């Protein structure tokens, strides 16, 4: 399995984002990722990616607005065009979208219909670009109370309703585990819809091995069932980043 580092949290001790990319290369990572691109100085990041040869696995599609709200769709779709252009420039295959919160006064059915419609329009904008948009279920028990999409199965069902190859899912092992999901049940027969994977241990959302999550079994399950993408290490290290990366060296 290959691993990418979320350099929002990992390698923060190295300095700015270009230097975090260089530190990730020295540590033996295969790629990097970050969150918002509009808050970054892109030119030096692009130079660091070219210099190291690391792949940028993805970043957030902006603006981050609730896709469950039809009134915000035009804003999101307009911003998506710029995000796709940046993804192509930086050779990132995945843009990550969060659905937004569960909106008061609207049924879940109404919000799901709005989300599905927005993703269908997004697929049109993505067609032929080589970039996919991946929605991300998040846990609502610890980190994201009030978020709309906490279920991997519901996320996959929405993707299937859209029915376009440009729309996939981010499967976050940590968030899924916090919601008591069993990987073999929620991803059964649909691993091909997974565009990217995130990993942190639980409880705490720290490095693998810091908690009690059976993360190794889950990573092995993904490999055994055809997932060939990277595992994005998206955790808050409890020690120096390099010291937290024992995952790279096997069991």
Res 54: pLDDT: 98
Q: How confident is the model at residue 111 (pLDDT cuts 50, 70, 90)?
A: very high
Contact 187, 213 (CB under 8 A): no
| Phi, psi dihedrals of residue 18, rounded to the nearest 5° | -60, -40
CATH no. for 2-249: 3.20.20.150
Q: Which residues pair with 235 in a beta bridge?
A: none
Res 185: pLDDT: 98
| pLDDT tens by residue, 136-186 | 999 999 999 999 999 999 999 999 999 999 999 999 999 999 999 999 999
Four-residue CA torsion sign, 208, 27, 45, 85: negative
Answering whether pTM is above 0.85, one says yes
Residue 86 in this model has a pLDDT that exceeds 70: yes
Mean pLDDT of the chain: 97
| pLDDT tens by residue, 193-250 | 999 999 999 999 999 999 999 999 999 999 999 999 999 999 999 999 999 998 776 6
Q: How confident is the model at residue 94 (pLDDT cuts 50, 70, 90)?
A: very high
Res 250: pLDDT: 64
Q: What is the mean pLDDT of residues 68-89?
A: 98
Residue 3 in this model has a pLDDT that exceeds 90: yes
| pLDDT tens by residue, 36-69 | 999 999 999 999 999 999 999 999 999 999 999 9
Q: How confident is the model at residue 81 (pLDDT cuts 50, 70, 90)?
A: very high
Q: What is the largest CA-CA distance in the chain?
A: 51
**Residue among 25, 131, 31 at smallest CA distance from 86:** 131
């Amino acid at each position: 399995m290959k691993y990418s580092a979320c350099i929002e949290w990992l390698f923060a001790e190295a300095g700015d984002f270009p230097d975090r990319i260089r530190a990730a290369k020295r540590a033996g990572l295969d790629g990097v990722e970050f969150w918002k691109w509009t808050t970054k100085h892109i030119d030096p990041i692009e130079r660091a990616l070219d210099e190291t040869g690391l792949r940028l696995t993805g970043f957030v599609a902006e603006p981050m607005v609730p896709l469950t709200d039809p009134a915000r769709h035009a804003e999101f779709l307009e911003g998506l065009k710029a995000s796709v252009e940046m993804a192509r420039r930086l050779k990132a295959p995945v843009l990550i979208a969060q659905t937004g919160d569960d909106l008061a006064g609207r049924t879940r059915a109404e919000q799901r219909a709005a989300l599905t419609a927005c993703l269908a329009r997004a697929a049109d904008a993505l067609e032929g670009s080589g970039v996919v948009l991946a929605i991300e279920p998040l846990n609502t028990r610890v980190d994201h109370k009030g978020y709309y999409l906490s279920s991997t199965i519901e996320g996959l069902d929405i993707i299937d309703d859209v029915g376009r190859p440009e729309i996939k899912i981010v499967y976050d092992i940590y968030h899924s585990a916090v919601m008591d999901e069993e990987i073999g049940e929620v991803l059964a027969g649909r691993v091909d819809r997974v565009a990217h994977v995130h990993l942190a241990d639980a409880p705490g959302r720290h490095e693998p091995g810091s908690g009690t999550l059976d993360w190794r079994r889950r990573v092995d399950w993904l490999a055994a069932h055809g997932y060939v993408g990277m595992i994005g290490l998206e955790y808050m290290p409890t020690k120096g980043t390099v010291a937290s990366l024992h995952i790279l060296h096997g069991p």
